[in-house]
Structure 1
Amino acid sequence: MSTTGNHDSTAAGRPAAPPPAPRRRRRNRVLGALAVLTLLLGIGLMAGTYYVDSVPTPTDLTLPESTTVYYADGKTPMAKLGAENRTIVPYDQMNDSAKQAIVAAEDRTFWTNKGIDFGGVLRAAWSNVTGGQRQGASTITQQYARVAAELKGVTYSRKLREAVIAWKLDDKYSKENILGFYLNTVPFGRGAYGIEAAAQAYFGKTVRRDAPADKQLTKAEAMVLCAMVKQPEADPDDPEGSPGYDPRRNAKARQNSIERWAYIRDGMVKLNYLSPQEAANLAYPDTVRPNDPAARVSGLDRPTGQVVNHVLSELRQTDPFKGKPAEYLRDGGFSIVTTVDKRVQDAAEAAADIRRDSAPEAVRGQPRNWQAALVAVEPGTGRVLGYYGGNAATGADYAGWYYDDEGDARGYGQHPPGSSFKVYDLAAAVQQKISVKQRFDSPDTKEFPASGRTKASPNGPIRNAEHAACQPNCALWEATVASLNVTYFELTEKLGLNKVLDLATRAGIDSMWANEPGNPQPRRIELRGHPGAETAPHFSTEAGIGQYGITVADHANGMATLAAGGKRAEQHFVRSVTKGEDTVYSERLVQTDLGLDAEALNQVNWTLRRVKAAELDNGWDSAGKTGTWQAGQSTTQNVHTWMVGYTGALAAAVWLGSTDGKPLRNKNGSYEVYGSNAPGPIWRQFMERATAALKLDPDKYRFDAPKFPDDKPSPTAPAPSAPPTTTRPSSAAPPPSCEPAPCASASPTGRPSPTRSPRPSPTRSSGPPRTPPPPG
């Protein structure tokens, strides 16, 4: 019986000197008579309240039960959610170890009493009123009744009502039903409620009888656990003197545990659960795990805590969970199987967590303001296989954004993609039958009056950040490999920004962030479900060269669409949700076509395979693109760097930037930090290790070569297929390149906006304003 709930407390105050012995005897007789009278009156009161008192019963009382989040294999736990660490196991699925040990520990007459131990109550009454040790005299049924009725306080009226309820329950429900509920209910310490959570917390085992024998809780181990029920936690007022029964807490607690274990062992013999010989051969187990307080965090203190945030956000938008309180999902005892493959996740964390020794040498030991993010998506399904946006659920999410329990948008995952966005311009071009061998006028600088980029404008003409051997006249594929801004700005004008945004949206870019006059924070523009002609006015032509923020997650999904032969799938984190034997939710795999024919896709792949940073050393065909965005007006210092790309089996996007908005500067003091030498090594290491871990055959994922039917390009670009879309001129304060405040400490969660919405809204702000940069 628990000292925290089963024993009545002693009266306050220091007692006077004891009276002479004859007076004590007379007093005890009087008090004893009063106790018996009280008991008899109580029995009469029981009869009067038996049919009117009510209590939640084992069939109608819902217990908070931990929801477990699993990796994609459905077996490996990622996190455990809920106010109480509890996993309910039905009585008939438990092995006998805990059933027998708890009866021997707490109520040896359980199987024969009527829910009330009248002899114990009488002894408790006598002891309590005659100055002996206060006693609770609670059977297992009474203890259950107390929990079920949420009875609090230590009073005789409470004791009486508890007995009434126990009597009633015992008359109506089977002993098995009551014992099963009790074992799933009581606390065992270490934050574990119920025998299954306790078995896992103390021994890493289970009480399920269908588990392998070596994984099941033994009788000796169950006896250790059932000793805990007497006092699950140390007395906070005297933790050293009254430490409870966790043998790993201190020496006294261990001794308490051993003595209580011996008491339970003797009870097991008396109840014929053990023979005397079996008891003699039984050894106290010294295999109790150390108490790890961090384990109570339930996995949210790891990088996959960010995955859990997205999982919960995604499920809140589905019919089974929409409009339900947060506790319904967290405390509902659900089993959530995510799309995240542990092998891929391990590779993502090893590469993108640049504080680890496992990260590529190029990014290890760099300044503390360096931060990376990585998202990997499975082509054709949209399943997120790996996600690294930060190191904990409560930290800033640099890879994406999600809705929290209150419907508020959180996360800091949007960054200007720079030249990595040009993959969508390229795809839009070949969709419009512009060959990648088509040549463009490609000087170092060029004016574009229609877009407000002239020598007389505040931002001046467009200039290339790099120089290529093909200049001043380059094929589109050459301009892609060299990331020539002049070529791609002209391409965006000729195609029309609406067509570029249409293509990017269909590929996977659901949101883009824009600055607006009078709004101090960039605002999220919902691209998904809106035609480019509708969203283009929010942006200038600079969108085509990556000036406006997008998320790492969206960019990864765009790469997955190209990897899947132009078949876009909805990016998601959840494969299934079950409760017991019932399936509550299952993923729905739906593809939409990007609208590129085979030749167009082959030309895109052929071009992106020529990007040196995208080459892998493991025999896989791979394609990709780097990108940077400069700091302020600088042409040599960058705040954001990217590497995105794919094989036929895996797509990934990597961002590396600064957390404080300052230019990236390496440990040697150099500002030469680019997509190729910072996120590039992260991407390559991840792709090589992840594809190796997945054990896929690269020969099954080869890219086809294009045929180039129009292999006679003219010296200049063709006329535009449609008039340029009128967009906001770049002189109207283009969006800046970084968000200094949230990069450092916008809020503990990296919250992008105080506005609330139950589902993604067409606009969403994310972070404070940034200083306007030139395109890069």
Structure 2
Amino acid sequence: MPVLPHGDNDSVDGRPGARVAPTGRKRRRNRVLIFLAVFALLAGSGLVAGGYYVDSVPTPTDLKLPESTTVYYADGRTKMATLGTENRTIVPYGEMNDSAKQAIVAAEDRTFWKNRGIDFSGVLRAAWSNVTGGQRQGASTITQQYARVAADLKGVTYSRKLREAVIAWKLDDKYSKDEILGFYLNTVPFGRGAYGIEAAAQTYFGKTVRRDAPAAQQLTVAEAMVLCAMVKQPEADPNDPEGQPGYDPARNATAKQNSIDRWNYIRDGMVKLGYLTADQAANLAYPDSVKPIDRNAGRSGLDRPTGLVVNHVLSELRQTEQFRGKPADYLRDGGFKIVTTIDKRVQDAAEAAADIRRDTAPEAVRGQPKNWQAALVAVEPGTGRVLGYYGGNNGSGADYAGWYYDENGEARGFGQHPPGSSFKVYDLAAAVKDKISVKQHFDSPDTKEFPESGRTKDSPAGPIRNAERAPCQPDCALWEATVASLNVTYFELTEKLGTAKVIDMASRAGVDSMWAVEKGSPQPKRVDLRGKDPDEVARQFSTEVGIGQYGITVQDHANGMATFAAGGKRAESHFVRWVAKGEDRVYEEALKQTDLGLDSEAVDQLDWALRRVKAAKLDNGWDSAGKTGTWQAGQSTTQNVHTWMVGYTRALAASVWLGTVDGKPLRTKDGSYQVFGATGAGPIWRQFMEQATAALKLDPDKYRFGDPRFPDDAPEPTATPPTAEPTTAAPSPSSSSPSPSPSTVRPTCDRRICITTSPTGRPLPTPDLSPTLSPTPSLSPSRSRGPK
């Protein structure tokens, strides 16, 4: 729509609406008027230090306006969330369409393009009223209104009015009208927490003022008039919200009528200023498309599963040099563009599979009891980028996949769970690193004593037991024991390697934290494994670490799988790719790898053994490897609290946990307790891996595993071992922990394979896990005894 000339307001540069260049005589007259007005106000208010106002005037370049920070998916275009105490998105004046520029002038300052930043008659009226003892009054120009907001001038006082006028005067001298109008449109409040015209357009109409957007998505003139009407009173009067509701048409009938009346006033102004012809104005209809009031509008994403991703993003950035030590709201209100590592395609697949309340979840877990909960994390091998993260359905609720630091530096999250047999991948990796072939045979009887670890028939805990016989027993190759999850074999392997080597392998692969049982504490304590001496760390754990009886997070486990997928090259798992402020990038991820020391032979053997786990097989042509895990409940031989499935292709690694939020056993909607890693977490993992790899559109032939080389010529066994993994149980004490009395020992079994565990306590009542981050039911030390 063309902008018509402003009557007798001739243009100095050919642009309709430009300010007339004042003559020298007119400029001197304006200064005299300003001086008289200022003097009158100074005299009337008793202020004589006028220089104070002039010297302390903040200019727009000095302002640190709160601006919404936007979080994006990895493509840098798809918005994940908007943050900030004020919903503001700054759009340069030249990138705005004309709708709001014209409407705001018609609404708030029809002399804007002609005046010198001050309404002289208004200032003189206020001064005269001041001198004569009348009521305080005075109209403000757009420039004055911006000055008031910029300088945070509050109250209705003479001194405020004076300072407002002086700032406006200085602004008009220093900046062009276009610049001032841009400052104003990006600053002024529009209600509903929206500051600036772009935030208002999105909040009220779901549109944009950007002129380069498709026409259907741009704010129209009629819609801009509705928004500009609200500037007069953005929010309802808190003392009389019904009687003085303002101009938001969605607030109540009175507010809507106010909006319509002011919309008509603005329309008349648009005609008088030449922005609309009379015919155009007559054909303009008041829009009824204003969105209902939603206080979370503009702060999208925080109540969805990706809200947990945002928590990790902010936590990660606060640990960086660029953002460390900054105020709590610096990131949220800083107007940053944060591009995460999360791939929208992978995230969609994660939520579809792991949100077991959805119809898209696997049939085995869909529609199960309300206390069931799943968590899933996917990591890109070689880079450590977290591509998908599901820690729960509520972004402001508990995080069952990991933990993070909040704005106050407090640890938050709910993400540690005992991994059970899924932890055996680290034992296996440590073994092949030490040249123990996956075809090396171990004595694997149903029951075996380990005097060195205190597991004998005469000890309170008793020996380690296997109750279900695998086809290979009692003489099993390591790969067979892996597939069948023979605890006797893996306990012996851990004792042979030493707990320090197993923990060191897990730590270097990606497990940064492990939760240990501490004497006298009802809750496990988080032990930071990073950069610690393995022998010193191992003193806090017992040989049972090798069969997965100490809690770890889903995120760490996923990172460990990504390390194996990358051929033993570990990258730090992270959530942020880059951060920009305006056109400048202020932070970028630093990708680096550390080598676990696994040679190609060891890597091939590890892959070869884990590929034989039936639950890890995908049906979409991808080579895949993985391991299941289960954690038993109490004295029951069939009831499980936690199930796991972890694994990888060469292109994607993922870890899935399925358990309960209250520490009770997993019980299906049909009343069955037969829930295992292969049947609980397994279907979620397989569906996710198949859908995610399909969505990424990668060629599976480019990501094949290598052929293993073995140090001997032993033939590959042909027997098919069982697919259900045995359950492991609560952590046994470290060497410094006391042995429990026999009355506290509870045998645990996965079908017929038993290990003991102690009684469980109640879960924490809140996801605030600081300072020890112990999120699961309390665990007393335990040792296993003979079969019941």
TM-score between the two structures when normalised by the length of structure 2: 0.86
Cα distance between partner residues in 2 of 1:542 and 1:104: 76
Q: Answer yes or no: is 1:769 the counterpart of 2:778.
A: yes
Q: Select 2:321's aligned residue among 319, 322, 334.
A: 319
Cα distance, 1:524 vs. partner? Answer: 1.5
Cα distance change of structure 1 residues 349 and 525 upon mapping to structure 2, 3 Å threshold: same
**Match for residue 51 of structure 2?**
51
**Match for residue 13 of structure 1?**
none
**Match for residue 82 of structure 1?**
84
Cα distance between partner residues in 1 of 2:468 and 2:152: 72
Cα distance between partner residues in 1 of 2:670 and 2:571: 43
1:527-560: CA deviation from partner (whole Å, max 9, x where unpaired): 1212422311111010000011111000000111
Cα distance, 1:97 vs. partner? Answer: 2.1
Q: Does structure 1 retain, via aligned residues, the 8 Å contact 2:40–2:127?
A: no
1:188 match: secondary structure = strand
**Match for residue 270 of structure 1?**
272
Kindly report which structure 2 residues correspond to 1:561-576, keeping only aligned pairs within 5 A, or say none: 561-576=563-578
Q: Does structure 2 retain, via aligned residues, the 8 Å contact 1:49–1:164?
A: no
Cα distance between partner residues in 1 of 2:170 and 2:683: 69
Amino acid at match of 2:268: D
1:333-383: CA deviation from partner (whole Å, max 9, x where unpaired): 111000011111111112112222222121122222211111010111100
Cα distance between partner residues in 1 of 2:619 and 2:758: 33
Cα distance, 1:772 vs. partner? Answer: 4.4
Q: Select 1:728's aligned residue among 731, 735, 750.
A: 735
Q: Which moved more, 1:38-47 or 1:163-172?
A: 38-47
**Match for residue 370 of structure 1?**
372
**Match for residue 411 of structure 1?**
413
Q: Select 1:751's aligned residue among 758, 763, 768.
A: 768
1:488 match: secondary structure = helix
Cα distance between partner residues in 2 of 1:527 and 1:39: 68
Cα distance, 1:130 vs. partner? Answer: 12
Amino acid at match of 2:232: K
2:645 match: secondary structure = strand
**Match for residue 749 of structure 2?**
none
Cα distance change of structure 1 residues 448 and 420 upon mapping to structure 2, 3 Å threshold: same
**Match for residue 387 of structure 1?**
389
Kindly report which structure 2 residues correspond to 1:624-635, keeping only aligned pairs within 5 A, or say none: 624-635=626-637
Q: Does structure 2 retain, via aligned residues, the 8 Å contact 1:303–1:391?
A: yes
Q: Does structure 1 retain, via aligned residues, the 8 Å contact 2:248–2:259?
A: yes
Cα distance between partner residues in 1 of 2:759 and 2:156: 60
Cα distance, 1:626 vs. partner? Answer: 0.5
Cα distance between partner residues in 1 of 2:327 and 2:565: 39
Cα distance between partner residues in 1 of 2:361 and 2:738: 41
Q: Could you tell me which runs of 5 or more consecutive residues in structure 1 were left unpaired when the two chains were aligned.
A: 1-36, 716-725, 756-763
**Match for residue 650 of structure 2?**
648
Q: CA RMSD in A?
A: 2.9
Q: Select 1:261's aligned residue among 254, 260, 263.
A: 263
Cα distance between partner residues in 2 of 1:350 and 1:171: 58
**Match for residue 702 of structure 1?**
704
**Match for residue 114 of structure 2?**
112
Kindly report which structure 2 residues correspond to 1:442-457, keeping only aligned pairs within 5 A, or say none: 442-457=444-459
Q: Does structure 1 retain, via aligned residues, the 8 Å contact 2:247–2:258?
A: yes
1:493-517: CA deviation from partner (whole Å, max 9, x where unpaired): 1112222122211211111111122
Cα distance, 1:129 vs. partner? Answer: 12
Q: Which moved more, 1:317-326 or 1:125-134?
A: 125-134
Cα distance, 1:727 vs. partner? Answer: 6.6
**Match for residue 673 of structure 2?**
671
**Match for residue 187 of structure 2?**
185
Amino acid at match of 1:677: T
Q: Does structure 2 retain, via aligned residues, the 8 Å contact 1:107–1:139?
A: yes
Kindly report which structure 2 residues correspond to 1:99-498, keeping only aligned pairs within 5 A, or say none: 99-121=101-123, 136-295=138-297, 297-464=299-466, 466-498=468-500
Cα distance, 1:221 vs. partner? Answer: 2.1
Cα distance change of structure 1 residues 347 and 435 upon mapping to structure 2, 3 Å threshold: same
Q: Does structure 2 retain, via aligned residues, the 8 Å contact 1:415–1:738?
A: no
Q: Does structure 1 retain, via aligned residues, the 8 Å contact 2:84–2:299?
A: no
1:226 match: secondary structure = helix
Q: Answer yes or no: is 1:712 the counterpart of 2:714.
A: yes
Amino acid at match of 2:656: V
Q: Answer yes or no: is 1:41 the counterpart of 2:40.
A: yes
Amino acid at match of 1:392: N
Cα distance, 1:561 vs. partner? Answer: 0.9
Cα distance between partner residues in 2 of 1:391 and 1:696: 29
1:59 match: secondary structure = helix
**Match for residue 761 of structure 1?**
none
Cα distance between partner residues in 2 of 1:349 and 1:130: 70
Q: Which moved more, 1:190-199 or 1:591-600?
A: 591-600
Q: Which moved more, 1:617-626 or 1:86-95?
A: 86-95
2:377 match: secondary structure = strand
Amino acid at match of 1:209: R
2:690 match: secondary structure = helix
Cα distance, 1:134 vs. partner? Answer: 8.4
Cα distance between partner residues in 2 of 1:659 and 1:640: 10
Cα distance between partner residues in 1 of 2:781 and 2:607: 33
Amino acid at match of 1:751: D
Q: Which moved more, 1:579-588 or 1:396-405?
A: 396-405
Cα distance, 1:79 vs. partner? Answer: 1.1
2:515 match: secondary structure = strand
1:584 match: secondary structure = strand
1:769 match: secondary structure = coil
**Match for residue 5 of structure 2?**
none
1:538 match: secondary structure = coil
2:702 match: secondary structure = helix
1:437-483: CA deviation from partner (whole Å, max 9, x where unpaired): 21111111111000011112121111125431211111111111111
Cα distance, 1:566 vs. partner? Answer: 1.5
Cα distance, 1:126 vs. partner? Answer: 8.7
1:97 match: secondary structure = helix
Q: Does structure 2 retain, via aligned residues, the 8 Å contact 1:524–1:766?
A: no
Cα distance between partner residues in 1 of 2:428 and 2:634: 27
Cα distance between partner residues in 2 of 1:386 and 1:265: 50
Cα distance between partner residues in 2 of 1:439 and 1:403: 46
Amino acid at match of 2:768: R
Cα distance change of structure 1 residues 207 and 540 upon mapping to structure 2, 3 Å threshold: same
Q: Could you tell me which runs of 5 or more consecutive residues in structure 2 were left unpaired when the two chains were aligned.
A: 1-35, 718-732, 746-755
**Match for residue 522 of structure 1?**
524
Cα distance, 1:131 vs. partner? Answer: 13
Cα distance, 1:133 vs. partner? Answer: 11
Cα distance between partner residues in 1 of 2:759 and 2:175: 65
Amino acid at match of 2:317: L
Cα distance change of structure 1 residues 438 and 673 upon mapping to structure 2, 3 Å threshold: same
**Match for residue 68 of structure 2?**
66
Cα distance between partner residues in 2 of 1:197 and 1:514: 48
2:293 match: secondary structure = coil
**Match for residue 32 of structure 1?**
none
Cα distance change of structure 1 residues 315 and 179 upon mapping to structure 2, 3 Å threshold: same
Cα distance change of structure 1 residues 287 and 678 upon mapping to structure 2, 3 Å threshold: same
Cα distance change of structure 1 residues 767 and 659 upon mapping to structure 2, 3 Å threshold: closer
What percent identity do the matched residue pairs reach? 78
Q: Does structure 1 retain, via aligned residues, the 8 Å contact 2:522–2:780?
A: no
1:37-64: CA deviation from partner (whole Å, max 9, x where unpaired): 9997327679955533133221111101
1:168-198: CA deviation from partner (whole Å, max 9, x where unpaired): 4333443333222211111111211111111
1:330 match: secondary structure = coil
Cα distance between partner residues in 1 of 2:435 and 2:524: 35
